Chains A and B, each alone.
Chain A
Amino acid sequence: MSRTSSASDEIQRLNRRRFLALLGSAGALGAVGCSASPAMQLGTTPPDQQLDDDVVRPAPTINADRTLVVVELQGGNDGLAMLQPFGDGRLRDMRPDLVTDDSELIDADGNFGWHPNLAGLAGLGIAGVVGVGSNEPDFSHFEMEQRWWRGDSAERSRLSTGFFGRLCDQLDVGAPVTGISLSGGPTPALLADKAVTVGLTDPGANWIFRENDPWITSYRGTVEALAQRSASDGPAHDAARKGLADMTSFSQSIAQMESDGDERYPWTDLGQQLRFASEIMSLDVGVRVLHVRLGGFDTHIGQSWRHAQLMEELNEATTVFLDHMSELGMADSTMVATTSEFGRRVEQNDGGTDHGGASTMLLCGPGTNGIHGDAPNLRALDDGNVVATARFEDYYATIAEDWFGVPAGDVLPSGGDPITGLLSA
Chain B
Amino acid sequence: MTTPEIRKQIAHVFRRCGFGPTPGAVEAWEEHGPQALIEELLSRETIEYRTEAKLYDGFNLSDDDDDDYKLFELAVASIGNDMVHGSNPIHERMSWYWSTHLTSSNERADSAMMWRQYQLFRQHALGHFPTLMRQVTTDAAMLLYLDGAESRGTNPNENYAREFLELFTLGRNGGYTEDDVRAAARILSGWWVDWETAEVHYKAEQAYTRPVTFMGERRRWNLDEFIEFVCSRPSCAQHVTTRIYHHLVGPDLTDDRRDELAAVFVANGMEIKPLIAEMVRGDDFLAATHSRARQPVEWLIAARQALGLGGFFDPDEGWYLEVLGQMPFLPPNVAGWPLDHRWASASQIIARTSVAMDWEMPERLYDEIEPTVDAVLARCGIYDPSESTQAALKQIEADVSEYDGRLELLLLTAIVTPEFTLL
Using a CB–CB cutoff of 8 Å, the interface residues on chain A facing chain B are 74, 139-143, 145, 181, 184-186, 188, 196, 198-202, 204-208, 214-215, 218-219, 221-223, 225-234, 236-237, 239-247, 250-251, 300-301, 349-350, 354-355, 383
Chain B interface, DSSP helix/strand/loop, else mixed:
helix
The 4 A-B residue pairs with the shortest CB-CB distance, nearest first, are A230-B386, A240-B418, A246-B346, A239-B341
Which B residues are in CB contact (< 8 Å) with A350?
A: 150, 152, 155, 157
A147 smallest CB distance to B (angstroms): 13
Q: Which residues of B129-175 have CB atoms within 8 Å of chain A's CB atoms?
A: 147, 150, 152, 155-159, 162, 166-167, 172
**A223 x B172 contact (CB < 8 A):** no
In the bound assembly, the distance between CA atoms of A223 and B347 in angstroms comes to: 13
**A228 x B388 contact (CB < 8 A):** yes
- A225-B391, A237-B422 known; A215 and B409 CB under 8 Å? yes
Contact of A239 among B158, B335, B344, B400 (CB under 8 A): B344
Which A residues are in CB contact (< 8 Å) with B357?
A: 208
A-B contact count (CB 8 A): 181
B324 part of interface (Cβ distance < 8 Å): yes
B285 smallest CB distance to A (angstroms): 16
Which B residues are in CB contact (< 8 Å) with A214?
A: 404
Q: Which residues of B78-132 have CB atoms within 8 Å of chain A's CB atoms?
A: none
**A226 x B350 contact (CB < 8 A):** no
- A208-B353, A237-B422 known; A230 and B395 CB under 8 Å? no
Using a CB–CB cutoff of 8 Å, the interface residues on chain B facing chain A are 147, 150, 152, 155-159, 162, 166-167, 172, 178, 181, 290-293, 323-325, 332-335, 341-342, 344-351, 353-354, 357, 384, 386-389, 391-393, 395-396, 399-400, 404-405, 408-409, 412-413, 416-418, 421-422
Contact of B290 among A215, A236, A245, A251 (CB under 8 A): A236
**B333 x A142 contact (CB < 8 A):** yes
Which residue of B is nearest A211, CB measured? B357
Which A residues are in CB contact (< 8 Å) with B159?
A: 300, 354
In the bound assembly, the distance between CA atoms of A227 and B324 in angstroms comes to: 21
**B422 x A236 contact (CB < 8 A):** yes
- A226-B413, A300-B159, A354-B159 known; A236 and B335 CB under 8 Å? no
**A202 x B293 contact (CB < 8 A):** no
- A237-B418, A247-B349 known; A222 and B413 CB under 8 Å? yes
**A230 x B345 contact (CB < 8 A):** no
In the bound assembly, the distance between CA atoms of A141 and B388 in angstroms comes to: 41
Which A residues are in CB contact (< 8 Å) with B351?
A: 185, 200-202, 205
- A218-B409, A234-B290, A236-B422 known; A140 and B347 CB under 8 Å? no
In the bound assembly, the distance between CA atoms of A143 and B181 in angstroms comes to: 15
Which B residues are in CB contact (< 8 Å) with A247?
A: 346, 349-350
Which B residues are in CB contact (< 8 Å) with A355?
A: 158, 162
**B178 x A201 contact (CB < 8 A):** no
Which A residues are in CB contact (< 8 Å) with B399?
A: 218
Which residue of B is nearest A251, CB measured? B350
In the bound assembly, the distance between CA atoms of A53 and B23 in angstroms comes to: 65
A394 smallest CB distance to B (angstroms): 25
**B386 x A186 contact (CB < 8 A):** no
**A139 x B178 contact (CB < 8 A):** yes
A149 smallest CB distance to B (angstroms): 11
**B344 x A185 contact (CB < 8 A):** no
**B172 x A218 contact (CB < 8 A):** no
**B395 x A225 contact (CB < 8 A):** yes
Which A residues are in CB contact (< 8 Å) with B325?
A: 184-185, 201
In the bound assembly, the distance between CA atoms of A141 and B346 in angstroms comes to: 27
B318 smallest CB distance to A (angstroms): 14
27 contacts between A and B (CB under 8 A): A185-B347, A186-B342, A200-B347, A201-B347, A201-B351, A205-B323, A205-B350, A207-B354, A208-B350, A208-B353, A214-B404, A219-B409, A222-B392, A225-B391, A232-B386, A233-B418, A236-B290, A240-B293, A241-B388, A242-B345, A244-B346, A244-B349, A246-B345, A247-B346, A349-B157, A350-B157, A354-B158
Which residue of B is nearest A199, CB measured? B347
- A225-B392, A300-B157 known; A139 and B162 CB under 8 Å? yes
In the bound assembly, the distance between CA atoms of A112 and B418 in angstroms comes to: 53
Which A residues are in CB contact (< 8 Å) with B341?
A: 236, 239-240, 243
**B388 x A218 contact (CB < 8 A):** no
Which A residues are in CB contact (< 8 Å) with B384?
A: 232
**B416 x A198 contact (CB < 8 A):** no
